[in-house]
Amino acid sequence: MITRCAVDPSGTPAPTAIAAALAQPGDADVRALQRARAFAEPLLSGETLDTGEPVLAHADAVADILARIGGTPDLQASVYLVYACPFLARPREVIAKAFGDALADVAIETNKLIQLQRQARRVAPAEAGAARGATSALDAAQTENVRKMLLAFSRDLRVVLLRLASRLQTLRYHAAVKRVPARALAAESLQVFAPLANRLGIWQLKWELEDLAFRFLEPDTYKHIARLLDEKRVERETHVEHVRQRLERELAALGLHAQVQGRPKHIYSIVKKMRGKSLAFDQVYDLRALRVIVETVEECYRVLAWVHAHFSPVPEEFDDYIAKPKPNGYQSLHTVVCDEQGRAFEIQIRTRAMHEHAEHGVAAHWAYKEAGTKGYAGVTAGSSYDAKIAVLRQLLAWQRDLSGLAHGLFDDSIYVLTPQAAIIELPKGATPVDFAYAVHTDLGHRCRGARVDGQMVPLNTPLANGQTVEIIAAKEGGPSRDWLNPEAGYLVSHRAKSKVRAWFNAQAAADHMARGREQVERLLQREGKTAIKLEELALELGYETPDAMFEAVGKEALSLRAIEQCLHREPAPPPQDEVVVKKARSAPQGQAGGVLVVGVGAVMTTLARCCKPAPPDEIRGYVTRGKGVSVHRADCPDFAALARRHPGRVIDVAWSGVVPAGPHAPVYAVDVGVQALDRQGLLRDISEAFAREKINVIGVQTQSVKGVAWMTFTVEVSDATRVSKVMAVLTDVPGVQKVWRR
């Protein structure tokens, strides 16, 4: 472990001190640390970070921070390898050969995360107004993605600790050289890194990250609180020292070996308490604070009893975090008491083990060793399985705290970047086509190629965390039907799939419209009605626009016969009580489909060919001129058009309910429409599906347009419920996109 080193004015350990520490003899891990620094030094010498800090000095300081929170030499060695990565042609290969796969993985993953976060900050707003509570200057969505990225890379806790230590050193450097960092960096430190350090229980890093970030985000408030702290510092410190000596003396007399020390006061925590509880500065109790460290839990409560017996406790300010630890595992007794002069101060009481955990958090319990196939991503717990579980729980809790998400720690998401450094969240296994649609629907439609980290890749290549994706797009065009083939692996995200389907549906609608327009115009020419206003004709038929009417004709939802009838308006029918209909030639059961005309005797009926009703369809009747009653389905568009023009001819009809059995049982011809991706054997597979359901097919019409097959099957059924069953079976035929009753 690196020993405490001298610090130069830049806020980083002096190189000579680091070298002296490294020169001390030690075990294999210490020698690995020495080798790692010697390996990185010639690469990093003379290089600077984008903050202006020398890279080697930054690495030395980060290693020292990790040493102070209990990080092993192995973890410290990885610091130098992280910053050496950008200067190596094949970093993973070189580092793995010299230091092993475990350290190579940590170095590569951490370096990748550094690049991602740097690019994320570049796209944050350059300037945003500071609000109370140090509201972030980052865009909310980008901040959320930075948090998610940290989670995505936290499969190895070493990566997280390296980033925490590095960010603290960056803030220290800016404070030392009196240079204000980018606002996005300070806001990210306060909103992302400090809460993560808190969740992991690393108090030393947490409070310093908060104070430094707050100092840069709200300098006026920071200076005001600092000035208030300085005004009565001598009086306050004198009082604290007096109480400290008394406590130490009295507890020793009780046989308790207690260490009593003043507790540091952190400006950001003071501001948060003042704002959260609407307190004045003088009302903040922990301006005067002491910490008592003993050996056992039983001694903690003995100290508490003595304190409450000799000072006046403030009941509402007592917290027992030993009986009920904080979510990050923190344990301690907190109490606020007043002395004889009424001066309030806080006392924290804890064991040495609790104090170690409070200061160092998970770093106090986690050993960074190679663990073969066992352990957590190559990391094993130094204490027990429970220690590993505890850390994972804290990361899960941190995710819930900050993002409000209930997903697991390692949900099925990846995070990639656009060339402009915007972070895009995608489902695991997503491809460049998914990425293109996530950026913009039009970009997805025009996607023709992709570069990932500068290299051309096939469009069905799965993407990985941290990659930068550039889409090569055509000036115009649409998606390929191959993208919808799940076996080809072009699309994973539901959003991209729905966008592609919507595009092809729109194309089909355009084809229907063009085909319908052609048919309608041909009909108008044949009837000599080319001067008719199409808008009025569409409204007459129940459509808002001519295009809607054309589309209905193109997909056979509206027949040309209905338009022809509309063009040749018939004279108004006789009054309802003078309707002339033909008598049926046979008994009611001999009528078409067993249809009864409600309120009228035996009347000749025919089933309309436009909609081909079958029981138990809801039906309506229309009195024709001299041909009896034409029976339509209630939802038939042609019937709706006839009913609007001649409402007096509409008549109620119903199925007779008499169904002869045996060979004389009636059957009904019904049309079933199918839309499918055209392929070899499609017609055969659909016909086999009808055969399995024992459905007799008496007619087939099919055509293929731009790779899409449009089919109409006329089948014989005893009732319409059979049609619903066979339609469900047809949807399982490979390539079938849509099935409907015509």
Q: Read off the pLDDT of residues 305-315 as tens digits, 9 standing for 90 and up.
A: 999 999 999 88
Contact 262, 244 (CB under 8 A): yes
| pLDDT at site 458 | 94
Tokens coding 217: 């985000």
| pLDDT at site 142 | 54
pLDDT in tens, 207-248: 899 999 999 999 998 888 888 777 666 777 777 788 888 888
Q: Within 10 A of 329 (CB to CB), how many other CB atoms are there? A: 20
Tokens coding 654: 């119903």
| pLDDT at site 400 | 45
pTM beyond 0.75, yes or no: no
| Distance from C-alpha of 416 to C-alpha of 148, rounded to nearest angstrom | 11
Nearest CA to 676 out of 622, 734, 620 is that of 734
Please tell me the least confidently modeled range out of 1-15, 162-176, 509-523.
1-15
3-state secondary structure string, 119-136?
HHHHCCCCCCCCCCCCCC
Contact 609, 618 (CB under 8 A): no
**In the predicted structure, residue 547 carries a pLDDT above the cut 80:** yes
Find residue 717's DSSP bridge partners: 668
| pLDDT at site 386 | 45
Contact 712, 673 (CB under 8 A): yes
On average, the pLDDT of the chain sits at 76
pLDDT in tens, 354-369: 887 777 665 444 332 2
Find residue 336's DSSP bridge partners: 346
Share of the chain above pLDDT 70, in %: 75
Pick the CATH number of 667-741 from 2.40.420.20, 3.40.605.10, 3.30.70.260, 3.40.640.10: 3.30.70.260
| pLDDT at site 193 | 85
- Ordered by start, the domain boundaries in the chain are 15-217, 228-364, 413-492, 493-569, 572-663, 667-741
| pLDDT at site 168 | 94
Homologous superfamily (CATH) for 15-217 = Hypothetical protein af1432 (1.10.3210.10)
pLDDT in tens, 704-730: 777 788 888 888 888 888 888 888 888
pLDDT in tens, 30-40: 788 889 999 99
| Distance from C-alpha of 368 to C-alpha of 158, rounded to nearest angstrom | 8
- Residue whose pair of structure tokens reads 């051309």 in the numeric block: 456
Cis preceding linkage at 327, omega within 30: no
| pLDDT at site 274 | 80
586, 619, 624, 649 from 581: Cα distances, Å? 15, 18, 8, 11
Confidence bin at 128 (pLDDT 50/70/90): very low
Residues ≥6 apart with Cβ < 8 Å to 719 = 614, 615, 616, 668
Q: How many CA atoms lie within 13 A of 267 on its CB side?
A: 23
For CA atoms 115, 120, 124, 130, the dihedral sign is negative
| Distance from C-alpha of 483 to C-alpha of 244, rounded to nearest angstrom | 73
| pLDDT at site 724 | 82
Q: Which has the higher per-residue pLDDT, 577 or 692?
A: 692
Nearest CA to 716 out of 698, 694, 741, 742 is that of 698
Q: Which CATH number is associated with domain 228-364?
A: 3.30.460.10
**In the predicted structure, residue 388 carries a pLDDT above the cut 70:** no
131, 471, 536, 561 from 565: Cα distances, Å? 71, 54, 15, 6
Pick the CATH number of 413-492 from 3.10.20.30, 1.10.1660.10, 3.30.565.10, 3.90.1300.10: 3.10.20.30
pLDDT in tens, 626-685: 678 888 888 888 888 888 878 888 888 888 765 555 556 678 888 888 888 888 888 888
| Distance from C-alpha of 290 to C-alpha of 243, rounded to nearest angstrom | 9
Angle between helices 203-217 and 219-231 (to 10 degrees): 110
